[in-house]
Structure 1
Amino acid sequence: MSASVPNARSTLHLPQGEWTTVLDCLCAHFPSIDRATWLDRFERGRVLGADGQPLAATHPYQVALKIHYFREVPNEKPIPFEEQVLHLDEHLLVADKPHFLPVMPAGEYVNETLLARLTKRLGNPDLVPIHRIDRLTAGLVLFSTNPESRGRYQALFRERKIDKRYEAICPALPDLDFPRQERLHMVDGEPFFLMKKGDGEPNSETRIEVLERRGELWRYALYPVTGRKHQLRLQMATLGAGICNDPFYPELIERGRRDQDDYSQPLQLLARALSFSDPLTGIERHFESARQLSW
């Protein structure tokens, strides 16, 4: 069994049911995790009450009882790419994330995440990402290192006071004028992890420029005004220029291939730069990724 990391802790309010113990409820709520695994977690103090103290497997079930549990993935596959720390001070950390590495624990990834790696490296359990980028996207991620100042930096994203620049390599669009503002109404797609174009007022916006032309492929600069899930990937695909090596857009590849990362074919999308006025000092901050996309 792989080790847990502090930031892999999840919270659950127990649902309505007729169970006798918390253990019974968890076994029913998570049918993919067998009873022996849950018993092992209880014995190792990996299921906690609202007060943070370990619960016994015999703890009585109670509807809406708040518990914490630590997600664990057996035989977690290592991701063979390293992140870089570009900046670290008492309030902020700026990391340059490689392709394929998730920011946060999810699904089959617990220890092989940017957050877990940095928490272990720095020994700082208060590390929290202020924003996220997709697992398949490379580039800059901003972390708060201090709970006392965290809200000030989170407000930069909420109030759109931070400039974000992405780069992408996509098919050429010679029939369109650039620069352009691309607005799209985005809705949940099918399967659940996809987004799609819907009817209605636009709820996403990106400014798009062309940085370089190389025959049938161009390198674009993307400046998202909003920050919706898969916004850049869907908008470029909707224009007819899906980002190179995107397994989701414009067409979802078959399950078997999708579940096996091809490290030789990374998504050609990079969170290149972040710029903002520091809310604590007023100093103008600018950070750039050192990574390069591949033609």
Structure 2
Amino acid sequence: MSRLLNIKISDEYSGRIDKVLSDIYPEFTRSFIQKQIEDNNLKANGKTVPAKYKVKLNDIIELSIPAPRQIETLAQDIDIDIVYEDSDIVIVNKPQGMVVHPSAGHDDGTMVNALLYHCKGNLSGINGEIRPGIVHRIDKDTSGLLMVAKNDSSHFYLSNLLKDHNITRKYHAIVYGVIKEDEGIIEKPIQRCQQDRKKMGISQNGKFAKTKYKVLERFKDTTYVELSLFTGRTHQIRVHMTSIGHPLVGDPVYGRKKHLFGLNKQTLHAKILGFTHPSSLNEMYFESEIPIYFKDIIDKCKKI
């Protein structure tokens, strides 16, 4: 069945309607919104508008989400670490090196391929055939906890928790340099780099981003930290820590050209995930063990 969303524009939002709606609903990409506009599934104040339409205060937006098409991505019998599962959600512990969903150069072998097999296709469909069930992503070379929705109502609920910053997400990382302060907060806006669309960077024109860091252990030339996300921008932790002079050890994009121990993957693990369950409304809390690759790097840092 299709789903109708009604949005009243507050003074918090301004600009093109496709960008505004993708900000309000992070689960929808701008290309998805633009496709709905092309298909006449979006109206502003009862009238169809182009993607470049600039919203105004108190505009009433109606967005009709079409019923999901049958998922065509291949289900594959890939061993994955399921931490928790019920009729609404799946919590999975993703290994470093595994891509979350199919993309250019990664047609199969992804977490989505594995989940389709494990869940027998019972995943939310609002993200289409490529990203079924995926509420939020973590990078290929980041390990740790990932939250997955098995139906559309759970997906919308969890996406709104994310949008309202009501999900606890804590990461562990090893960064270069010895951080003097025991903890601190980074508030710097982030946007995609114009020169390299694969990279993000600090820009006053970017989206608000906030990260808290806490020192867990100091070594000779590196620091083991816990990072709490208040927002969820692409590459947020990697960009923020680089911006204060402490890039992640092994980060091939934002780190040093040559890394300790010959690493070419960032040492970043999504360790803690907490949220309110979409059906029971119980408080859920999950914590994963630091993986072996991460422990090995800590041991090596201690020996320097």
Structure 1 residue 283 displacement after superposition? 1.3
Find the aligned partners of 2:87 and 2:67 in 1 and give their Cα distance.
28
Report percent identity of matched pairs: 22
Correspondence for 2:188: 184
Deviations along 1:21-79, one digit per CA (max 9) or x if unpaired, are xxxxxxxxxxxxxxxxxxxxxxxxxxxxx9999xxxxxxxxxxxxxx99689xxxxx9x
Correspondence for 1:213: 218
Specify whether residues 202 and 118 from structure 1 end up closer, same or farther in structure 2 by C-alpha distance, changes over 3 A only: closer
Does 2:145 match 1:146? no
Find the aligned partners of 1:105 and 1:121 in 2 and give their Cα distance.
17
Report the residue type matching 2:217 in the other structure.
Answer: E
Does 2:252 match 1:247? yes
Specify whether residues 196 and 157 from structure 1 end up closer, same or farther in structure 2 by C-alpha distance, changes over 3 A only: same
| Structure of greater relative contact order (alpha carbons < 8 Å, 6+ residues apart) | 1
Specify whether residues 83 and 217 from structure 1 end up closer, same or farther in structure 2 by C-alpha distance, changes over 3 A only: farther
| Secondary structure class of the residue paired with 1:129 | coil
Which stretches in structure 1 are left out of the alignment for 5+ residues?
1-9, 14-49, 54-67, 73-77, 254-261
Q: Where in structure 2 are the equivalents of 1:93-104 lying within 5 Å? A: 93-104=90-101
Does 2:162 match 1:165? no
Deviations along 1:128-155, one digit per CA (max 9) or x if unpaired, are 0111111111111100112343322222
Structure 1 residue 196 displacement after superposition? 1.4
Q: Where in structure 2 are the equivalents of 1:268-287 lying within 5 Å? A: 268-287=267-286
Report the residue type matching 2:208 in the other structure.
Answer: N
TM-score normalized with structure 1 length:
0.66
CA RMSD in angstroms comes to 3.3
TM-score normalized with structure 2 length:
0.64
Which stretches in structure 2 are left out of the alignment for 5+ residues?
1-30, 36-65, 125-132, 299-304
Specify whether residues 266 and 236 from structure 1 end up closer, same or farther in structure 2 by C-alpha distance, changes over 3 A only: same
Q: Between Structure 1 and Structure 2, how many residues are aligned?
A: 220
Q: Who wins on radius of gyration, i.e. which is larger?
A: 1
Q: Where in structure 2 are the equivalents of 1:1-295 lying within 5 Å? A: 83-127=80-124, 128-174=133-179, 176-189=180-193, 190-199=195-204, 203-250=208-255, 265-292=264-291, 293=294, 294-295=297-298
Find the aligned partners of 2:220 and 2:79 in 1 and give their Cα distance.
32
* Equivalent pair of 2:190/2:206 in contact (CA under 8 Å): no
Report the residue type matching 1:163 in the other structure.
Answer: T
Specify whether residues 51 and 204 from structure 1 end up closer, same or farther in structure 2 by C-alpha distance, changes over 3 A only: closer
* Equivalent pair of 2:210/2:230 in contact (CA under 8 Å): yes
Find the aligned partners of 1:149 and 1:192 in 2 and give their Cα distance.
32
* Equivalent pair of 1:111/1:117 in contact (CA under 8 Å): no
* Equivalent pair of 1:85/1:94 in contact (CA under 8 Å): yes
Structure 1 residue 125 displacement after superposition? 4.1
